[in-house]
Amino acid sequence: MIRIKNKANTNALPFWALILSFIIILGAGHGIIPLGYLEILWLNSLFGADDFAFSSGITTGVCIALIGQIPLLTSLFIRDSRDAVWFQVIGVVLLWVSLVFVDSDMDTSIVSSILLASPFLIVSSKLLYRIADNK
């Protein structure tokens, strides 16, 4: 059984993982673009306003990122700590998978992708470590 002593302390890491997932910097063409902006563009094209002129790998990664951010956001409002932990794990894993999809389809090196995503990777790793340490 998972026991978490103080819910207020456990909300800081999922909150920062959520915020940092929006500002992961990705190399796009001759510039850079935050992942959160790609999500806005994708949602905009989903509702027919504009075309999303990116490849299918990036589109899949952006969709998975948006789906991964929903459990993280939901975990902030769940009172039962066991359910919140599961939502946090699912959200972080989906965000990591989305990062792999998006970065594999970009024309940047893996080193620069990891460096630009390092704030999110550090916070999410710390969150998963804290969850595993509580078991």
Place of tokens 């999922």: 14
Q: What average pLDDT score do residues 98-122 get?
A: 80
Tell me the two tokens of residue 119.
Answer: 């704030």
Give me the pLDDT at residue 134, please.
78
Burial 95-127 (b: 16+ CB within 10 A, else e): bbbbbebbbebbeeeeeebeebbebbbebbeeb
Share the mean pLDDT of the chain.
82
**Can you say whether the dihedral through the CA atoms of 91, 92, 94, 98 is positive or negative?**
positive
**Can you say whether the dihedral through the CA atoms of 50, 96, 125, 72 is positive or negative?**
positive
In a domain, 77, yes or no: yes
Number of domains in the chain: 1
In a domain, 68, yes or no: yes
Give me the pLDDT at residue 1, please.
43
In a domain, 53, yes or no: yes
Measure the CA–CA gap between 88 and 27, rounded to whole angstroms: 27
In a domain, 34, yes or no: yes
Tell me the two tokens of residue 12.
Answer: 């800081």
pLDDT digits (tens, 9 = 90+) for 50-99: 776 677 777 888 889 999 999 999 999 988 888 889 999 999 999 999 98
Return the percentage of the chain with pLDDT > 70, whole number. 84
Q: Cα–Cα–Cα angle for 79, 84, 100, nearest 5°?
A: 155
In a domain, 12, yes or no: yes
Q: pTM, whole model, 2 decimals?
A: 0.83
Return the percentage of the chain with pLDDT > 90, whole number. 36
In a domain, 2, yes or no: no
132 has a pLDDT exceeding 70: yes
7 has a pLDDT exceeding 60: no
Domain residues for the domain of 71 are 7-134
